[in-house]
Structure 1
Amino acid sequence: MSRIRRVRYVVLALLCAMYFITYIDRTNISVAGTTIAHDLHLSKVELGLIFSAFSYPYALLQLPGGFAGDLLGARVGLGIVGGIWAGATLATGFGRSFVQLFVTRFLLGLGESAAFPTATRAMASWMPPTERGLAQGVVHSAARLGGAVAVPIVVFFVLLWGWQSSFFALGAASLVWVVLFLLLYRGDPRQDRRVGAQEQAEIGEQPLRASPRAPWRALVAALWPVTLCDFCYGWGLWVFLTWLPGYLQEDRGFNLESLALFAALPLLAGVVGDTAGGVLSDQVLRRTGNLRLARTWQLGACLTLSAVFIVPAAVVGSPVLAVVLLSASFFFLELNNAVLWTIPMDVAPEYSGTAGGLMNTGFGVAGIISPVVFGWLIQQTGGW
């Protein structure tokens, strides 16, 4: 493979790094949550509200954030929101009360709200249709890997220097990514002199620059079913991301040291599921040429299989077997993710940021509701 041919994979690597870091920043508070609640005397409902604070702006600003990304382009859009989420992560380390932590998590959601829709616009520009499922699978695998490694990383910082230090370190890492992205990302392929004619031909026709007048009615009509699927997917994901560490500690008896391994296992299963889901969808597209079949058949089957495995996880006696079942559930849940994010690129490539934001609103709304409902149920029933 020539040097020029690899330019789109450099872009993909930058986006993978972004997804990796954003999910560490999202997950770190759930890993440190038990320690934070003890230090600041927070109830389960208060902790659930802090967990969900991220999702209020994340849900409400998906659509305008994605549309802004379409208009501004990925370089400007991700540069701005990256600075916001990095600052919010750093500020979380200074939180000393429920209100302060709620506000900093709210700001993190504000910063990350446009990140994935804008990155989807970049992938629509840089990746040919037959590589889009793989691209979405790879970046979301990086996200799940970030969520998985957040567990040992945050545990390491909590044990050595306290929970605040984890937010300082991870906020600094976010700032480093912003600088590297601005230095290395030049814009769409036609704006990048490193892209040769051969790679331009492989990428294919570029999405047009988005008009300030988006076809809202057509987008809503095309995407409401996948938005509903994303809500269902997000309900399960947010429970895993916010409450899994606390469940394993308080209900299954894992200490903080063993949590570093066992809380990471379901998320590592998700890494495999994300990539496998994207590869499988692209393979179906190559073999059948049927875009609808390639992108939609997985969703219902995999959501069902995820539920099938999570039910026995709640009742088995063995803590290790419970983790195995949770890992299987999360694997099937994540088989959906790449497909969900590929559909906006296929349906409306020139408005892929807007379309991705519309779809991911369902995910954000689930993130507002499910952590609080889960915390309320724990507090009301006295058990998990």
Structure 2
Amino acid sequence: MLSPPSTGHASLVAPSRKRYFIMVLLFITVVINYLDRSNLSIAAPALTSELDIDPVHVGLIFSAFGWTYAAMQIPGGWLVDRVPPRILYSVALLLWSIATVMLGFAASFIALFVLRMAVGALEAPAYPINNRVVTSWFPERERATAIGFYTSGQFVGLAFLTPVLAWLQHHYGWHMVFVSTGAVGILWAVIWYAVYREPRDFKGVNAAEIELIREGGGLVDLQTQTAQRKAPFSWVDLGIVLSKRKLWGIYLGQFCLNSTLWFFLTWFPTYLVKYRGMDFIKSGMLASLPFLAAFVGVLCSGLFSDWLIRRGASVGFARKLPIISGLLISTAIIGANFVDSTPLVIACLAVAFFGNGLASITWSLVSTLAPARLLGLTGGVFNFIGNLAAITTPIVIGFLATGDSFAPAITYVAVLALLGALSYILLVGKVERIEL
């Protein structure tokens, strides 16, 4: 346990920097999390050809993750308010990784669909846990950078590891895509349990760092408060987080933001292979470029947002500017409908995904707006509504892409990006924590 500071000397002690180590832990966890979400998109062209699955059923398989992931967000958020991140994350990681390994042995549409539903249900608490950890470990002025850094894991992992998974699929079959990513997750579940602790219990954290976090708005004692509160699920609490206009602004905006993301996590490789005529290995390399662009966008977003706050900008302006700008930039995806050359197609997609990355610090607004005692529940509702896109996007694109043209699907993604920007502009007012 952390010792109290010595009287008269605390101000002379430099704060430790263990919170940045926590940021790295979250980054690695997010890399694994998103590899297990997107590995199906890498395996899909070979898998669906081998099992003779048509585009509509491919869309259903892609959407299976989203059905249970969205449905379990509110229960998952409720759990986050009650179960310590060390335990909840370890259990969730272990179970969804086992389900991922089992996907490598699926041999039918039904097996693929059911196992993807299992992965979705078990990953549901992940981002509410991330938000809970960051809110405990980081002051407000550093929070967007922390969120941007760990969120970048969802893009940088895919950017650098998509070619690796494509190579594995080419040389060892699509089965190994699932077995390898699942095995990594099982190992990381053990590491997370062994390493993660709350701020006051983490070895090497001094009193000065605790005070820096607390004075900056970080909820360093959130776990203690949670342990003292064992109230059952309350429909009144759910009603509170569903009744606030500014929360609906970020809920709807997240749905639109995720619609672009889930195009890239599901149909993107198939689009390159089947609708743009690229071979699988080449498409695996090209598919990494938009993810790299998104990675740059995420890093720019967090650093720029926190820089604005340090320069005196309001939290609302500093958070909403990159989000709205990024959603507007994402509409550039529609340019892919009007060009034929491969470099120009990839350029349009890369610009759009850069915008998606730039907008992806939306969790910083959950940290800032949510009532303190309902942080997990608010995050659960936010992720529930946002990840309805994981259901609708794959299915809608599956129907829109049944012909020879993918253009209607691209248009659908672009329109939703525009609607997301309007949601933040028109519905989210002054950014401040909602008091109960």
Report if TM-score (shorter chain) is over 0.5.
yes
Give me the TM-score of the superposition, normalised by structure 2.
0.83
- How much has 1:284 moved relative to structure 2? 1.8
Residue in 1 that maps onto 2:213: 203
Give me the TM-score of the superposition, normalised by structure 1.
0.94
Cα separation, 1, equivalents of 2:304 and 2:21: 23
**2:379 matches 1:368:** no
Note the residue ranges of structure 1 that are not aligned, 5 or more in a row: none
Cα separation, 1, equivalents of 2:167 and 2:204: 41
Superposed CA deviations along residues 292-344 of structure 1, whole A, max 9, x for unmatched, are 2222233333212211x111112201111110111001101221111x11111
The correspondence for 1:159, drawn from 163, 170, 195, is 170
**2:65 matches 1:54:** yes
Note the residue ranges of structure 2 that are not aligned, 5 or more in a row: 1-12, 407-436
List aligned pairs for 1:84-163, cutoff 5 A.
Answer: 84-163=95-174
Residue in 1 that maps onto 2:91: 80
The correspondence for 2:82, drawn from 71, 74, 80, is 71
- How much has 1:202 moved relative to structure 2? 1.6
- How much has 1:193 moved relative to structure 2? 4.2
Cα separation, 2, equivalents of 1:254 and 1:88: 31
Check whether the contact 2:19–2:138 (CA below 8 A) recurs between aligned residues.
yes
Check whether the contact 1:93–1:166 (CA below 8 A) recurs between aligned residues.
yes
Residue in 2 that maps onto 1:382: 404
Residue in 1 that maps onto 2:4: none
Cα separation, 1, equivalents of 2:54 and 2:117: 19
The correspondence for 1:37, drawn from 30, 40, 48, is 48
Give secondary structure in 1 for the equivalent of 2:132: helix
Check whether the contact 1:70–1:118 (CA below 8 A) recurs between aligned residues.
no
Give secondary structure in 1 for the equivalent of 2:311: helix
Residue in 2 that maps onto 1:319: 342
**How many pairs were matched up?**
379
Return closer, same or farther for 1:362/1:268 CA change in 2, 3 Å cut-off. same
Q: Rg larger in 1 or in 2?
A: 2
CA RMSD of aligned residues (A): 1.7
Cα separation, 1, equivalents of 2:302 and 2:360: 8
Q: Which moved more, 1:152-161 or 1:298-307?
A: 298-307
Greater relative contact order (Cα 8 A, min sep 6): structure 1 or 2? 1
- How much has 1:49 moved relative to structure 2? 0.6
Residue in 2 that maps onto 1:359: 382
- How much has 1:3 moved relative to structure 2? 11
Q: Percent identity?
A: 33
Superposed CA deviations along residues 53-112 of structure 1, whole A, max 9, x for unmatched, are 000111111121022012112111101111121111101001000000001111110111
**2:20 matches 1:9:** yes
**2:286 matches 1:262:** yes
Residue in 1 that maps onto 2:258: 234
Residue in 1 that maps onto 2:363: 341
Cα separation, 1, equivalents of 2:48 and 2:135: 42
Cα separation, 2, equivalents of 1:133 and 1:179: 28
Check whether the contact 1:24–1:149 (CA below 8 A) recurs between aligned residues.
no
Cα separation, 2, equivalents of 1:350 and 1:11: 22
Residue in 1 that maps onto 2:430: none
Give secondary structure in 2 for the equivalent of 1:288: coil
- How much has 1:207 moved relative to structure 2? 5.1
Check whether the contact 1:151–1:259 (CA below 8 A) recurs between aligned residues.
no
